[in-house]
């Protein structure tokens, strides 16, 4: 039993958990994660975890609070059952956009989530494409921060030529520049103004996109307002074709309808979050799997190996 690996899943993304378990050639361990009639979450671990290396696959996506509470309560159950080490595998970290004070008397919710996970017994965190890299510093335990870049880069190299990588705002320039360097492509930036949360207006394009295939890159797409306004601006500046790539397809509210009606030819996303039903039916949305990448990281963590080769 010592040093044995166990993979568990909450209700957030059981399909990804099964893919990871299949890649590692271990069975997906059994746990009942249910709700009482009043909405309280109940967890029962169905097998012995004493002395084992436990990995809980649980992106904290919609419904964010339910998925977060499932993760916290599962960790507590594992700790009380004497698991040797508990690693929270959180491909999408909910509350990541609340990473600093942007106004008086507001919380830093990303820090609150980090403290919850540490207090309840998480001893390591594995996540992917954090909205703000400094969230790693909110933890006093090891955080392995993966990037979906290897998977997305392979897709772009295979499908497109004569591209210019476009950052939808100033905050994403570093990420987009790294992609442009790997692809030996040009770089452009959209200057945007945001008046209130989830609403923005694209204003100008810095860089040359005329006659080229423009690929917009972001860490997540939420309501798709930034993406669609930016795509329209790129078209006005002479881009031949517009595609978009992101790691986390949050796609809340009117996002899917906006994408369908926009000038975007395709939106490439990963399976860090399970797509909602209307997004699955949208022929513009292409899903790439990062399950193997996460499985490789889990294998390295379990065997005390280096995972630096997975950081791009």
Catalytic residue set: 192
Residue 284: alpha-carbon gap to chain centroid? 20
Alpha carbons 22 and 70: distance in angstroms, whole number: 23
Three-state secondary-structure class, residue 274: coil
Residues with Cβ within 8 Å of residue 146, at least 6 apart in sequence:
126, 127, 128, 129, 290, 293, 294, 297, 307, 310, 311
The Cβ of residue 186 has, within 10 Å, a number of other Cβ atoms equal to 16
Residue 299: closest CA among 55, 90, 8, 60: 55
Find the radius of gyration of the CA atoms of the chain: 20
Give the containing element (helix H, strand E) for 195: strand 186-196
- Contact residues for 276 (Cβ-Cβ < 8 A; gap 6+): 62, 251, 256
């Amino acid at each position: 039993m010592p040093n044995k690996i166990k993979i568990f899943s909450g209700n957030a993304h059981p399909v990804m958990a099964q893919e990871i378990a299949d890649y590692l050639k271990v069975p997906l361990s059994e746990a009942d994660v249910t709700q009482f009639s009043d909405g309280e979450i109940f967890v029962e671990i169905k097998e012995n975890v004493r002395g084992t290396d436990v990995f809980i696959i649980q992106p904290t996506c919609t419904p964010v609070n339910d998925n977060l509470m499932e993760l916290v309560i599962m960790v507590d159950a594992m700790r009380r059952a004497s698991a040797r080490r508990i690693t929270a595998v959180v491909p999408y970290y909910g509350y990541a956009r609340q990473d600093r004070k942007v106004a008086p008397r507001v919380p830093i919710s990303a820090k609150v989530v980090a403290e919850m996970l540490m207090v309840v017994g998480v001893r390591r965190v594995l996540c992917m494409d954090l909205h703000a890299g400094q969230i790693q510093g909110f933890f006093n335990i090891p955080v392995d921060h993966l990037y979906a870049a290897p998977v997305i880069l392979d897709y772009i190299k295979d499908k497109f030529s004569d591209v210019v990588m476009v950052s939808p705002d100033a905050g994403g320039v570093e990420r987009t520049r790294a992609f442009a360097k790997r692809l030996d492509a040009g770089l452009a930036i959209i200057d945007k103004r945001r008046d209130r949360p989830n609403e923005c207006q694209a204003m100008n394009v810095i860089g040359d996109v005329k006659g080229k295939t423009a690929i917009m890159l972001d860490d997540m797409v939420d309501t798709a307002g930034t993406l669609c306004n930016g795509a329209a601006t790129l078209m006005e500046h002479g881009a031949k074709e517009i595609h978009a790539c992101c790691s986390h397809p949050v796609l809340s509210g009117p996002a899917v309808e906006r994408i369908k009606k926009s000038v975007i030819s395709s939106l490439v996303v990963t399976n860090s979050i399970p797509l909602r039903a209307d997004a699955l039916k949208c022929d513009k949305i292409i899903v790439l799997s990062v399950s193997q990448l996460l499985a490789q990281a889990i294998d390295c963590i379990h065997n005390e190996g280096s995972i630096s080769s997975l950081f791009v």
